[in-house]
Amino acid sequence: MTELKLTVTDVGRRGEGIAHHDGRTLFVPGTLPGEEIIAEGDGERLGLKALVTASAERATPFCKHYGRCGGCQLQHWREAPYQAWKKSLVEQALKARGIDQPVRELIDAHGAGRRRVSIHVRRRDKLVTAGFMEARSHNLLDIDVCPILEPALERSFDIARAIGAKLSDCDVAIVSTLTGLDVSVKAERKIVEQEHAKLVALLHELKLARLSVNGEVIATAAVPKIEMGRVQVAIPPGAFLQATAEGEAVLVRLVLEGVGKAKSVADLFCGIGPFALRLAAKSKVEAYDSDKPAIAAIAAAVKATPGIKPLLASVRDLFREPLVPNEMKHFDAVVIDPPRAGAEAQAKQLARSKVRTVVSVSCDAASFARDAEILIGGGYALKSVTAVDQFKWSSHVEIVGVFGR
């Protein structure tokens, strides 16, 4: 294993320190600009062996698992330079596409912490391990507590171990809801009907709202619900939620500001409706997503909530069948919140449309910039870009861009 003395010059988009040696660019996690280090390893990604000169920007990590756990990457960086770096991720992605647009100051949306967590569980004989994978490794790190989670999720790892003791190797996703913890398990083996009674007993023992295994609801003590504006949504098992409640609130505020006084709005890649259900307080809304259970949840929530504007929720794969200009001619605004890959096909159709306002929400700077370039090429002006940090101490950043004709 090679040892090198290096000077870190920058932090890359994955949160790793960047150094250069003999014409090669090297990446060393846990390091900061200006630091002199001893790194070890082979290839372009090295490990930090020793810190020779520490940066004045270095902070003391608050989690005892930091450094081994593959979750957080940047607890060792002080707040101000960390925020400036995360904002720069969006600026650099836009510049790479030739887009010269200032990015507003990063909004800290960590709030009370993450409201959902996915835990790996492995059982070897009677020993059950539950936690996250170690950094750059397939080794599972046993974890007792994660300080970036909501307090309601404090017992998540104990819950995961209890489930692993029954089901063996599995992944346990836990969501904090208004009515309790919703637990969805992906088990590596099939669950036979004879096991259901024990799993129902486990739900009550662990005081869960609902327990699902491999997509099948085993038992429900209380229907898991999330509040969106004045609407309560009964969420399907495994439903996607923004990572933090504060993150959702910030994104919603930015979307509503971007839409403005639009009377008719399309919400594309709508999920379970965090934007659509709030937009419906003042606007007529059409919502689209390929997730059938999510669309059904929106429809049920609308039916149970009097006094909101008409909201039509439809199942549609917008990657394969994006809305075309003729279908969008009656919308004053379109909100688009695609997965990490972005929405290239839909952006191309929007660029051909006459919709006056597009609000783009993204969790990936590169795909956001690509889709922004398409919209600008179609005649839109990028009016504002805001970076939102709900995945704090990681390299992930949320973005809201407002485009207008």
**Could you report the per-residue pLDDT of 258-293, keeping only the tens digit for each?**
999 999 999 999 999 999 999 999 999 999 999 999
Vertex 104: Cα angle to 99 and 109 (nearest 5)? 125
pLDDT of amino acid 220: 97
Contacts (Cβ under 8 Å, ≥6 apart) of 80: none
Residue 67 counted as domain residue: no
Q: Are 273 and 218 in the same domain?
A: no
Q: Are 52 and 198 in the same domain?
A: no
pLDDT of amino acid 307: 86
Structure tokens given for 288: 């689209």
Does the reported pTM lie above 0.75? yes
Domain that holds residue 208: 116-225
171, 201, 225 - which closes a domain: 225
CATH of the domain at 363: 3.40.50.150
Q: Are 156 and 272 in the same domain?
A: no
Element (H, E) at 360: strand 357-362
pLDDT of amino acid 280: 95
φ, ψ for residue 266 (rounded to 5)? -105, 135
Per the CB < 8 A criterion, the answer to whether 217 and 190 are in contact is no
CATH of the domain at 13: 2.40.50.140
pLDDT of amino acid 136: 80
pLDDT of amino acid 169: 96
Q: Are 136 and 256 in the same domain?
A: no
Q: Are 121 and 138 in the same domain?
A: yes
Buried b (16+ CB within 10 A) or exposed e, 244-282: bbbbbbbbbebbbebbeebebbbbbbbbbbbbbbbbbee
Residue 381 counted as domain residue: yes
CA distance 377 to 321: 21
Residue 96 counted as domain residue: yes
Per the CB < 8 A criterion, the answer to whether 29 and 135 are in contact is yes
pLDDT of amino acid 125: 85
State the total domains in the chain: 3
Q: Are 250 and 363 in the same domain?
A: yes
Q: Are 102 and 246 in the same domain?
A: yes
Q: How many CA atoms lie within 13 A of 162 on its CB side?
A: 18
Active-site residue among 72, 146, 170, 363? 363
Residues of the chain with pLDDT below 70 are: none
Residue 162 counted as domain residue: yes
CA distance 405 to 398: 24
CA-CA-CA-CA torsion sign (246, 248, 250, 256) = negative
Q: Are 45 and 147 in the same domain?
A: no
Q: Are 250 and 354 in the same domain?
A: yes
Q: Are 343 and 276 in the same domain?
A: yes
Q: Are 263 and 387 in the same domain?
A: yes
- CA distance between the termini of the chain: 57
Q: Are 296 and 397 in the same domain?
A: yes
Residue 92 counted as domain residue: yes
- Which string of DSSP letters, residue by residue, matches 10-21? EE-TTS-EEEEE
CA distance 325 to 269: 17
pLDDT of amino acid 205: 97
Residue 68 counted as domain residue: no
Per the CB < 8 A criterion, the answer to whether 74 and 393 are in contact is yes
194, 225, 256 - which closes a domain: 225
The three-state secondary structure class of 155 is: coil
CA distance 96 to 90: 10
pLDDT of amino acid 287: 98
pLDDT of amino acid 110: 98
Q: Is 72 a catalytic residue?
A: no
111, 106, 112, 54: which is closest to 80 by C-alpha? 106
Residue 291 counted as domain residue: yes
Residue 63 counted as domain residue: no
Element (H, E) at 266: strand 264-268
58, 73, 92 - which closes a domain: 58
CATH of the domain at 221: 2.40.50.1070
